[in-house]
Structure 1
Amino acid sequence: MATESTNTVTLWFDVSCPFCWVTSRWMKEVEKVRDVQVNWVPMSLSVLNEGRDLDPGYMEKMKANWGPARVFAAVATQEPEKIDALYTTLGTLIHNNGEGGKAGFGAYDALILQALEETGLDSSYFDAANTEDWDSQLRAFHQQAMNEVGNDVGTPVIKLGSTAFFGPVLTRIPRGEEAGELFDAAVRLARYPYFFEIKRSRTESPQFD
């Protein structure tokens, strides 16, 4: 059953992140069973990890992630109503189709072009992928999330009403009414001003079916 009032949710995402993808698909399920309006905003793991002393292989993946994030920054600025559809299209190509984890600048170029075409967006948005023209706007979007939750987080960042958290980290996508019930529980925790964190060790990788 849908709730009587509309819940406003903001979800900051990086399309490359599989955990963020699961959380976002949960929210798409929530939209079906609750009166929820989701505001989709890009953030960037490449920005987050800039200058950090991390595994070289991981940092090569961060180079690849610049391209999609820059394109999302451009679309979010010029056609924000298309962000949801573009995220769904490109995220499906990356995660459900097993095209994630790419390394090196430009690694997602072909997928970006395919997603823009399938979403009905102008191919000129692709120009943002391999330039710094939209980096300031991407950093501004990213900083919105950091201002909400602090710097010791990753993706996703979700804001439920007036309170934001990193997560929730899910490895499977809740469906139907169960998705709604988990959302209700998350909203209730968010309303308690002294709740900050729940965490345990993960025992499986994300699954998207």
Structure 2
Amino acid sequence: MGNHFVHLIADLISLPMPTIAAVTGHAAAAVFMLAISHDYMEMRADRGFLYMSELELGMPIPPYFLALLKSKIPDPKVVRDMVLRSAKITADEASRKGIIDGAHGSAAETVAAAVRRAEDLAARNWNGRVYASIRRGALPEICRAVGLPEETEEERRRCFLRRLSSKQSQKLLLLITYEYLLPKAFRVIWPCLTNTSN
């Protein structure tokens, strides 16, 4: 597997769009890592489980796998049970434990839920660069583990300024200025202008 899989995970984390995994059967070891690398996970409830099989296979778990698990699974005890007991987690358990975003009755329902989520997110029409930047900022441990360089403040500023120059952003800034900043400035300045005691 080697470096190719690390690069695949790094590419997923860097994609300029939301990512959704539809898990329609067992997801063990690297397949589970691939699924959990996505922003959202929908899983089939009637068949399959999430499983880290390395302990039973006598293989060490790569550090970036552990970084993924610790960053994406909210409960450290669940991570412990998955890596040190090779616990098999069903969709219903994974949903209760906050590992997945939805458990569905069949493979078709799982894929349909993933497509619905993708359509809902695509309708938001977010800036892809900004989305990828925020994702990377939210997952610094994973980024370090897969060798992604940290985004500098200068890169964030440039991205913000590019976005700020769009027509949509300019309209929003005008609205904020007109609706919020000018009235506030007027309330501060007007008493100074009308104060005749000086």
Higher relative contact order (CA 8 A, sep 6+): 1
Higher helix share: 2
TM-score for both structures, normalised by structure 1: 0.29
Please report the TM-score for the alignment, with normalisation by the length of structure 2.
0.31
Q: Which one has the largest radius of gyration?
A: 2
